[in-house]
Amino acid sequence: MKAILIDDEKHTLDNLQALLRKYCPQVDLCVTAQTAEAGKALLYTHHPDLVFLDIQMPGQSGFDLLRSLPSYDFEVIIVTAYDQYAIQAMRFAAVDYLLKPVDIGELQAAVDKAIKQRRLKVYNQQLANLLDLLTAQQTKEEQRIALPTTKETRLVKTGDIVRCESSNNYTTFFLSDQEALLVCKPIYEYEELLRAHDFLRCHQSHLVNKKWIKSWKKEYGDFLVLTDGSEVPVSRGKKEMIKRALNLV
């Protein structure tokens, strides 16, 4: 854990640094500050995981420093010579509250608690990011586009479109249920729209949905083999772009 110490007493800073180096090797001490103002500047510069914070300092107190921040994503361990601040420390969600002179066992316990809390926050954030990604992907696949055929205008989920094939000013949409829809519009009118849904223009006459690509076939030319068994040619000019899109380079 990357840590910052903020305390107006130099001998306290020196002592705490020595204890951390000897008994808490999992803490990577970045810098120290002797005022709340200097400490605040270091927070924005170093983005620590953990802050050891004194309460009574000249000018702003440690609590004043925390109040001045719009938010903070680091853990806080209060280190003070006075025991009347415990309740306030809890209000600021401090991991622990250490009295000077600092007891080695209590310091180690506080650091262990901070590490566990930090890991839990990181895990929760990773989980939230994953859920956001899955939700976005699901939303993308469930978005529908209007396909005007000669008989009706069909609303089709983009995720259900396997590929599109052009023929002059017409485009055939091949769907995952084996249905084919002939649309009275050229393929270029759909290219930009479907690009946002992971469709690749692999050939002048073909658009394919990336999620339905099964393999790349190199027999008698380059072809994308799709999960429905169809084979779509890859033009020479599109070859490198398609390889990059499929992480084949």
Residue 249 to residue 240: CA distance in whole angstroms: 8
pTM of the model: 0.53
Strand partners, 9: none
Q: At residue 3, does pLDDT exceed 90?
A: yes
pLDDT bin (cut points 50, 70, 90) of residue 19 is very high
Instruction: Tell me the per-residue pLDDT of 118-130, one tens digit each, with 9 for 90 and over.
Output: 888 877 777 777 7
Cα dihedral 199→202→205→209 (10° resolution): -30
Q: Are 108 and 24 in contact (CB under 8 A)?
A: yes
pLDDT top residue among 139 and 106? 106
Residue with tokens 């009347």: 84
Structure tokens at 107: 């310091």
pLDDT at site 91: 72
Amino acid at position 140, single letter? K
Amino acid at position 93, single letter? A
Residue 100 to residue 208: CA distance in whole angstroms: 67
Q: Name the nearest CA neighbour of 97 among 111, 88, 86.
A: 86
Instruction: Tell me the per-residue pLDDT of 140-157, one tens digit each, with 9 for 90 and over.
Output: 667 888 999 888 899 999
